[in-house]
Structure 1
Amino acid sequence: MDNMNKNLEVVIVMVPFPAQSHLNQLLQFACLISSSHNLPVSFVGSASHNHQARVRSNAALNPSYIAKIHFHDIPTPDFDSPAPDPNALSKFPAQLIPSYNACTLLREPIALLLRELSTKSRRVVVVHDALMSYNVQDDCSLHNTESYVFNCVSVFFMYCSFVCIPNGLPIPLDEDLLKKVPKLEADAPDEINKLVDFQLQFRDIGAGDLYNSNKVLEGASLDLMAKIASTENKKQWAIGPILPTKQDHVSDKRNKCLDWLDNQPPRSVIYVSFGSSTTFSDKEVMELAMGLERSKQKFLWVLRYADRGDIFTGEARRFELPEGYEERVKGVGLVVRDWAPQLEILAHPSTGGFMSHCVWNSCIESITMGVPIAAWPMHSEQPLNGFFVTEILKTGLLVREWEKCEELVTASVIENAVRKLMASEESDEIRKRAEELGEAVRQSTEKGGASRLE
C-alpha cells in the first residue's frame, strides 16, 4: 500500500537559468506551487546558484514555503568568475557568460534525476527556464514526464522578438506607437547569442508555455501568442504575478532601509536600483549622485557592483561618491550598498517611484505594487520592456532614449527625470494609472481572478 501511494505522487521539478532575475522568478513559482497545492517541488541547479536563490529570496516569501522546497545541488565544473567591467561600452553582463556556459553541462545529471523520479512517481512535471531547454530534453524519453517552458520575460517582448522580427512581420501597434519602438541591435557578445540559439533549439519539445504575466497586463499579446500555440498543439497559461502580493509572516530580519522609509511621507521616495547585472562607471555614478541630489526629491539608492558568475567568490568593489555626499543628503536620501529587499521597498507606502533598468522581474514587481517607473533600459529585452511600460501601459517615463544608450546620461537629465516622475502634473496622471493598474493586477491573483483561474 505504501508503494502504491508513493506511485500516485505528482512531482514538480523546477530548472532555472543561473541569472538572478530568473532564479528569483522560478523560486517564487516553486513556493506558490508548494504552498497552494501541497505538491513536492524540486529546485535543480548548481550548488552555488541554488544557494544564491535561497540567500536572496524575497523577504516577502514565507520561510516555511522555502523550507518545503527540495534543493537538488548538482556539482558543476569550475568556471571563471571575473569581475564586471564598469567601463565596457555595452552594459550586457559579459562577466556572467562562463557561468551560463557551465550550465550546459547539467544535462546528464538532470536526466538521471528525472529518470529516478519517474520510477517513484506517477507523474513528473518539469518547469524549466526557456534558456535551459537543452538540459531537460531527456524528459521526452520518459512515459510519465512532460515539460513546460517558463518565460521570464514579457509576452510583448516574446511576440516582438520571436514572431515579428524573425519573420519580417510588423509589430501590431498603431502608426504613432510604431515610430517609438526602440530599434534593437544585438548588444550581446556572439558567445551569448550562440548559447541562446543553442538552448532555444529544444524549447519546442515542451508541452506548453507559462508566462509571469496576465491578461490584465498583456491580453493582446497573449491572444496573439495563443493563436500560434494552437497551431503547434501547445498550451499556454499566464499565471503572473507569481510574487507574494501580501506578506503572511513577520520577518525577524527587517532591513534598515525599511525603517528609514517608515519615517518618510507617503509616496515621496524614488527607489533607484539597476538590478544585479548592471555596473556603472565611476563617471556614471557621479552623474547619478549629482542628479539625485539636485532633484531635491527623496531617494533610496541601491549602489552595488553587478554580480559575478559565482556571487560567493571575490570581493565586490565599493563605489566612491562625491566627498561628504552621504552626510549631505542625510534625511533626504539613503544609499544602500548591500542586497536590498526590493519587493518590500516597492510595497512600502512611502515609495512613489522606481528608477529601473526594466528587466521584466523588476517591471512586474513595480506594476503589481502600483509604483510608476522611470525607465532606464540597459541591454537585452529591457528597451522593449521600457517601451511597453511607458508607451503602452503609460505607467512610467523614459530617462533617456534607447538610441542614445552609448551616451553619458548627465546629472541634469537625471534631475529632470526624477522631478518629472515625482513632482509634476504629468506625474499625478502616471501615478494614478500605475495605482489603478496595480490594483487590477493584484485582484487578478485573488479567487476568481484571471491569474488564479489560469
Structure 2
Amino acid sequence: MDGDVGHFVLVPFPAQGHIIPMVDFGRVLAGRGMQVSLITTPFNLSRLQSTVDRIGKSGLSLDFISLKFPGKEVGLPKDCESVDVLPPSSDFERKTDFIVRFFKGVAMLAEPLEAYIRQNQQKNPNIPTIMITDFFNPWTRKISEKIGFPRFVFYSVCCYTLISDRIFSRGDLSGADDAISDLEVPRLTENMFFPLPEFEYMRSEVMDSDESADGILVNTFYELEPMFIERYRKMTGKKIWPVGPVSLCNKEIEDKAVRGSRSLVDDDKILDFLDSMAPKSVVYFSLGSMTMISVIQLKEIGKGLEAAGHPFIWVIRYDPDDPDDPDEVEEWLREDGLEERTKMRSLIIKGWAPQILILSHPSTGAFFTHCGWNSSLEGISFGVPMITWPCFADQFANGRFITEVAKIGVGIGVTEIIFLQNYTVECETIKKAVERMIDDGEEMRKRALDLSEAAKIAFDVGGSSHTNTSLFLQKSLTRVADS
C-alpha cells in the first residue's frame, strides 16, 4: 500500500507516561508520510509547547488538537488535566476520589473528540480516519463504532506485565502457575497491582475495548521479550505489533531535552556536569512524575546517595501535603549542607528532568528507577542497568522483568505499594544498592549494553520494530479499504 495516506488520530491518556510515548509514535507515523493528529488538552499542550514548536519546524504532518477538559464539571480544580497534577493528599481515600473524578472527566472528552473527527472527515473526505487510542481510554470504542473507522490500542506496558495483569485480573492463579512454568520466569505475586476496587469497572471496560480493537501496538521490541509477545498474542487472539522503543525517534539533543516538558535546570548545566564525570560513574535517581514521597524518605535518599560516594543526579519530588512542613525539604537541603558537601559530584533537579538526555550520556552508569515502563525501556534503550524501587501498579511486574528476566538490575526489596506503606527505605539500603551496581555490576552492564544495541537495530530501518510499523500501516490502510 505504498503511497497511501491515512489520517491517524492519536488519543493518549492524560498522564506524562502515556502522552510522551504517544507523541513519539506520532512522530514515527508522520515520518512515514501519514497525517497525524494528537488529541490533548490546553494544560498538557502548554507542557508540550517546546516539542510542538520543534515538530512544526521539522515539517512533519503532526498536529496537536486541544480539547477543553471538563475539570469543573467533575469537581476538579483548574488545570488539573494530568494525573501528576491532581491535588496531592496523604489521605488515601481523598486521593482515590480525585483519581476517580479525573477518569470521569477524561471519558467526557468523547463528545468533542467525535465532533472533531466528523468535522475533519467533512474537510478531507478522501483521507481515511484511523484511531490509535491509549488502553486507558476504552470510551473511544463507541466513537469508532458510531462513525465507522478502525481503532487500534496502544500499550506503554511490556507484554510480560500485560500477561501478568490478564492472569490476575481474571482471578486465575492456577493459570499463573502454568504460564510461569511454561515461560521459565519467576512466580508472580498478587500484590503487584494497584488495589483500587473503584476501578474494577475500568478493568472490565479495558478488556472489552481490547477485544473489539483491530489490533494492539506495544511499546516494546521483539528481541527483548519474544516469548512473552508470542504468549500475549495467543492469550488475546489479536495481532500484536511491537513498535518500540519509540523514544529512539528523538535523535537530536534538543529533542531529548524538551521531550515531555522543560526542566528548571538549564540543559547545558546538565550536560556540563555529565561531561565532567568519568564514564559509567553517575547514578541517576528518579522515581517518576507521579510518585510523591515523604520528607523523611527524601532525607534517607539524600543520605544514601551521599554515603555511596559516587556522582549522582537526583530528581526530587515531594508531597506538599505531607504532615511535615513542605518547606522542610528546602530547609534540610540548605541547613544540612548536602548540596555544598557534594557539589563537585552532584546535581539536584527539582521537578521535571530531561531523562533521555541524561540516560543517553556516556557518564550515566546506573538508573535508580520506579520501574514505570517508559523509564524502564529508556534505561534499556541506552544500556543503563537499573536499581529498582517499584511504587505501585504495573511497576512491580516491570521491576521483576528487569531484575529476574532481563537480569539488568537489582532490587532494594520494596514489596508494598508506596501509597500504603508504613515504612521507610533506609539510607543504608540505598547506599548498598548503589555500591553493588556501580562497583560490582559489570555483568549487568554488559547485558544492558547488548539489549541497547538490539533496541537500536530493532528501531532502525529493516529492524523488527520498523518492519512491524510497516505491517501495521499496511493492515490499518487495508482495513479501511475493505470496510
TM-score range, shorter chain: 0.7 to 0.9
The corresponding residue for 1:452 is 466
The corresponding residue for 1:5 is none
Give the whole-Å Cα distance in 2 for the aligned partners of 1:183 and 1:295: 33
Give the whole-Å Cα distance in 1 for the aligned partners of 2:411 and 2:113: 42
Give the whole-Å Cα distance in 2 for the aligned partners of 1:404 and 1:116: 44
- The Cα of 1:350 is off from its aligned counterpart by 0.4
Confirm or deny that 1:110 pairs with 2:113.
yes
Alignment map for 1:18-33 (pairs within 5 Å): 18-33=14-29
1:229/1:170 CA distance change after superposition, 3 Å: closer
Alpha-carbon RMSD = 2.9
1:25/1:31 CA distance change after superposition, 3 Å: same
The corresponding residue for 1:312 is none
| Structure 1 counterpart of 2:69, from 61, 73, 76 | 76
Aligned length: 429
Amino acid at match of 1:371: V
| Structure 2 counterpart of 1:382, from 392, 395, 404 | 395
Give the whole-Å Cα distance in 1 for the aligned partners of 2:405 and 2:442: 17
Give the whole-Å Cα distance in 1 for the aligned partners of 2:301 and 2:199: 29
Give the whole-Å Cα distance in 2 for the aligned partners of 1:350 and 1:58: 29
CA contact (8 A) 1:400 1:409 kept: no
CA contact (8 A) 2:210 2:216 kept: no
Give the whole-Å Cα distance in 2 for the aligned partners of 1:360 and 1:186: 14
| Structure 2 counterpart of 1:44, from 6, 18, 39 | 39
- The Cα of 1:349 is off from its aligned counterpart by 0.5
The corresponding residue for 2:291 is 278
| Structure 2 counterpart of 1:419, from 435, 447, 450 | 435
- The Cα of 1:115 is off from its aligned counterpart by 2.2
SS at match of 2:225: helix
1:418/1:378 CA distance change after superposition, 3 Å: same
Give the whole-Å Cα distance in 2 for the aligned partners of 1:193 and 1:58: 36
1:94/1:339 CA distance change after superposition, 3 Å: farther
Give the whole-Å Cα distance in 1 for the aligned partners of 2:362 and 2:56: 24
Confirm or deny that 1:146 pairs with 2:156.
no
Identity of aligned residues (%): 26
CA contact (8 A) 1:20 1:53 kept: no
Amino acid at match of 2:152: Y
1:327/1:94 CA distance change after superposition, 3 Å: farther
Alignment map for 1:9-408 (pairs within 5 Å): 9-34=5-30, 36-54=31-49, 57=51, 64-65=57-58, 68-77=61-70, 78=72, 79-80=76-77, 81=80, 82-85=86-89, 87=90, 96-119=99-122, 120-121=124-125, 122-143=127-148, 145-163=149-167, 166=170, 167-168=172-173, 169-171=175-177, 172-174=179-181, 181-184=188-191, 187-230=194-237, 234-244=238-248, 247-248=251-252, 254-305=267-318, 319-320=329-330, 321-322=332-333, 323-402=336-415, 406=421, 407-408=423-424
- The Cα of 1:262 is off from its aligned counterpart by 1.1
- The Cα of 1:203 is off from its aligned counterpart by 3.2
The corresponding residue for 2:445 is 431
- The Cα of 1:302 is off from its aligned counterpart by 0.7
CA contact (8 A) 1:395 1:433 kept: yes
Structure 1, unmatched stretches of 5+, are 1-7, 309-315
- The Cα of 1:305 is off from its aligned counterpart by 3.9
CA contact (8 A) 2:5 2:33 kept: no
Amino acid at match of 1:76: F
- The Cα of 1:201 is off from its aligned counterpart by 3.5
- The Cα of 1:52 is off from its aligned counterpart by 3.0
Give the whole-Å Cα distance in 1 for the aligned partners of 2:435 and 2:380: 20
1:278/1:403 CA distance change after superposition, 3 Å: closer
Give the whole-Å Cα distance in 2 for the aligned partners of 1:197 and 1:411: 41
Give the whole-Å Cα distance in 2 for the aligned partners of 1:23 and 1:435: 27
CA contact (8 A) 2:392 2:417 kept: no
Amino acid at match of 1:264: M
CA contact (8 A) 2:292 2:318 kept: yes
1:397/1:299 CA distance change after superposition, 3 Å: same
Report Cα offsets for 1:177-204 as digits up to 9, x if no partner. 7665343265343334444444543332
Residues 358-367 or 41-50, more deviating:
41-50
1:31/1:317 CA distance change after superposition, 3 Å: farther
Give the whole-Å Cα distance in 2 for the aligned partners of 1:106 and 1:265: 49
1:317/1:105 CA distance change after superposition, 3 Å: farther
The corresponding residue for 2:478 is none
1:58/1:415 CA distance change after superposition, 3 Å: farther
CA contact (8 A) 1:277 1:306 kept: no
The corresponding residue for 1:441 is 455
- The Cα of 1:358 is off from its aligned counterpart by 0.3
SS at match of 2:410: strand
1:19/1:200 CA distance change after superposition, 3 Å: farther
- The Cα of 1:237 is off from its aligned counterpart by 0.6
1:72/1:154 CA distance change after superposition, 3 Å: same
SS at match of 2:224: helix
Structure 2, unmatched stretches of 5+, are 81-85, 258-265, 469-483
Give the whole-Å Cα distance in 1 for the aligned partners of 2:433 and 2:251: 32
- The Cα of 1:152 is off from its aligned counterpart by 1.3
Give the whole-Å Cα distance in 1 for the aligned partners of 2:328 and 2:58: 34
Give the whole-Å Cα distance in 2 for the aligned partners of 1:194 and 1:273: 32
The corresponding residue for 1:313 is none
Give the whole-Å Cα distance in 1 for the aligned partners of 2:253 and 2:185: 45
SS at match of 1:423: helix
Give the whole-Å Cα distance in 1 for the aligned partners of 2:452 and 2:96: 30
